[in-house]
Structures are given as C-alpha cells and as structure tokens.
Structure 1
Amino acid sequence: MERDQQLALDIPTYENIECAPSILPQKKYCDITGLDAKYTDPKTGLRYHNAEIYQFISTLGVPNVQAYLASRNAAVVLK
C-alpha cells in the first residue's frame, strides 16, 4: 500500500534519500553503557552517563581506555 502512494519529491521517505541534512546536534552516547552521555572525562576523553560509570572509568588502565576509544573511532594516544 505504501509503494502505491505517490508523494512529492520534497517529502523524505525511506525510498527517497534526497533530503536536507539534520540541523540537530549529533547525539553522544556513553562509551561503556551505550546510554545518552551527559559528561566527558577530561583525562581520558571517554564519554559517560553518570557518576557510577565515572568511577568505573577511573579504574580502567590505558589499554582498556584505548580499546573503548577505538570502538568509536576516536583512538588517541594517551600518555
């Protein structure tokens, strides 16, 4: 039924990918849990959701932090 509808080209649909880019800022997600990230650790650059996750991040070693950063293609050499 949806395929039979004739919509204007300026209305974005699943079949019509020609639409303007979003003006909303990109969402940031927690590197550990995948929830919305409200904070960023200034030392490691990891994004986190709450204080409990921050405590977990503070116990991580450099190789583990590098692995989390690499998972979102933000690999940075930490010293």
Structure 2
Amino acid sequence: MGRYCPGQWLANWPLHNRAFSTAPLTIKQWLICFAMSSLVLWFSELRKFFLRAIDRRQKPSTHIHYHEHSASNAKD
C-alpha cells in the first residue's frame, strides 16, 4: 500500500496535472489499478504453492517417525 501513496500524490497534485497534462484518477480507477497489480502477487504465490506440493510428492520422506524408531529399538 505504501507504494501507491507517492503515485497517488503525484497523480493528484495539481501542479503535476498541469505539467504532464494529466487528470486525477477516481477511486474506482485506483481500485482497478490496485486489483490488477495485486494479481501478479496472487499468481506468484499460487505458482509457488503448487511447485512446493509437486516437489513434496516427488521426494520420499527422509524423516523417521518417533514411534517407528522406538518400536525397532524395542525389538533389538
């Protein structure tokens, strides 16, 4: 959210509007910008989630469960 504040300040400051021939954005336009830019984050997190799930399925479990370990020691 902190990244949007300087952008909003620049876009809504009258001096910049005159200098760059721009108009201030409406709240609806800001919300659309925020939603579209956050899609990158959501897709990136979903991609990492699925890659980790695939990685976990492919690697065999290397840790020994405590109960299995104690049972094998009891037999010896």
Name the structure with the higher strand share. Answer: 1
Is TM (by shorter chain) over 0.5? Answer: no
TM-score band, normalised by shorter chain? under 0.3
Q: Please, what TM-score do these two structures have when normalized by structure 2?
A: 0.24
Larger radius of gyration: 2
Name the structure with the higher helix share. Answer: 2
For CA contacts below 8 A with separation 6 or more, give which structure has more relative contact order: 1
Q: Please, what TM-score do these two structures have when normalized by structure 1?
A: 0.23
